[in-house]
Amino acid sequence: MDLAAFKPKGKILHKDLVTLDDYSASDIAEILSLALKLKAEAKKGKFRQLLKGKTLAMIFAKSSTRTRVSFEQGIKQLGGSALFLSSNDLQLGRGETIGDTARTLERYGIDGVMIRTFKQSDVEELARAGSFSVINGLTDDFHPCQALADIMTVYEVFGKLKDIKLVFSGDGNNVAHSLMNAGAKMGMNVVCACPKGYGPNPLTVECAKKFGNVSVTENLDEALKGSNVIYTDVFFSMGQQTDKEKYDALMPYQITERHFEIADKNAVFMHCLPAHRGEEVTAEVIDSSYSVVFEQAENRLHAQKAVMALLMQ
């Protein structure tokens, strides 16, 4: 899809962002268009009160710097307010059902819930039970808000998304899953280079292939030929135990300066952060001039503002 020629309508049909599987290319373009507009306005000190008087509850079973600050600051810039709810603040940890939690929150006038948790089924159940909008802030299976910020960053760097080749190296995790979903629908070529036994979920791969150019390989060097974006993530996601067998399998997929000799001469490096220098990426790469990791981090704010504005109005 040509984002530059896209004519936004200012609305999408979905009230929940559970996974980008549910979103069409037009839906994603709608979010990105608004995100780019809100970012441009923010740079000029202009903040539209699109969610004045609205309240976002933020449920965190997993902690996060970027997710908490970007959502909290985002809803504030849109004129609304946020409630931070950790696992210690809720009765979920003591056996209360998600359905009961949802019905309680809606009685308190909550307009939206961002949830960052382990099981994808918890987000799905929350969306079914509540009358408010639900936004997936991360699960073990998907990270849709990160993927939206990522492809927004790619668009800013290259001025297009169609035919951009993004290679994800390492563990085929939740970030890889959502990148495949978003990238395929927006005309990108997404390749996951992963060691045997650590590739993305085959069902997610097949679903993404229905919409665009997605592939999985064990050969990182071959995948990197002609690539515009080299992307990696930590070896062990939050909540996972460090495992020597997995560590040894992933170390050959560490991104180094050598890999940028194989990629396109204008290729950039991406990482969703936090990063472990010396593991999934060398310091020379992540701290280089071609690294756009902090642009990605900033774009979490703008992409999520667009999501909230479109879902919660």
78 has a pLDDT exceeding 60: yes
* Mean pLDDT, rounded, for 191-213: 97
Q: pLDDT class for 219, splitting at 50, 70, 90?
A: very high
Percent above pLDDT 90 for the chain: 90
Query: Are 165 and 65 within one domain?
Result: no
Query: Are 293 and 148 within one domain?
Result: yes
Q: Tell me: the pLDDT tens digits for 6-65?
A: 999 999 999 999 999 999 999 999 999 999 999 999 999 999 999 999 999 999 998 899
Q: Identify whether the C-beta of residue 238 lies closer than 8 Å to the C-beta of residue 62.
A: yes
Question: pTM (2 decimals)?
Answer: 0.96
Q: pLDDT class for 150, splitting at 50, 70, 90?
A: very high
* Mean pLDDT, rounded, for 169-183: 98
232 has a pLDDT exceeding 80: yes
E runs forming strands in the chain: 55-60, 81-86, 112-116, 133-138, 165-169, 189-193, 213-217, 229-232, 268-271
* Mean pLDDT, rounded, for 60-85: 95
Q: Tell me: the pLDDT tens digits for 252-286?
A: 999 999 999 999 999 999 999 999 999 999 999 99
* Mean pLDDT, rounded, for 59-82: 96
Query: Are 148 and 123 within one domain?
Result: no
Q: pLDDT class for 2, splitting at 50, 70, 90?
A: confident
Query: Are 70 and 193 within one domain?
Result: no
> What confidence score (pLDDT) does residue 237 get?
83
Per residue, the 3-state secondary structure of 117-166, as one string, reads CCCHHHHHHHHHHCCCEEEEEECCCCCHHHHHHHHHHHHHHHCCCCCCEE
Which residues lie closer than 8 Å to 128 by C-beta, 6 or more apart?
99
Full residue range of the structural domain in which residue 234 is found = 144-297
Catalytic residue IDs: 116, 143, 146, 233, 272, 300
Looking up residue 305, the CATH number of its domain turns out to be 3.40.50.1370
> What confidence score (pLDDT) does residue 242 get?
87
Query: Are 193 and 133 within one domain?
Result: no
* Mean pLDDT, rounded, for 213-240: 95
Query: Are 33 and 152 within one domain?
Result: no
> What confidence score (pLDDT) does residue 125 get?
95
Q: pLDDT class for 93, splitting at 50, 70, 90?
A: low
71 has a pLDDT exceeding 60: yes
Q: What is the DSSP letter of 13?
A: S
> What confidence score (pLDDT) does residue 94 get?
58
Query: Are 185 and 241 within one domain?
Result: yes
Query: Are 93 and 132 within one domain?
Result: yes
Number of structural domains, the chain? 2
Query: Are 306 and 211 within one domain?
Result: no
Query: Are 25 and 62 within one domain?
Result: yes
* Mean pLDDT, rounded, for 61-71: 93
Phi and psi of 12, rounded to 5°?
-135, 160
Report residue 247 as tokens.
Answer: 């560590």
Query: Are 260 and 151 within one domain?
Result: yes
> What confidence score (pLDDT) does residue 88 get?
73
Largest Cα–Cα separation, the chain: 57
Q: pLDDT class for 1, splitting at 50, 70, 90?
A: confident
Q: Tell me: the pLDDT tens digits for 247-261?
A: 999 999 999 999 999
Query: Are 191 and 283 within one domain?
Result: yes
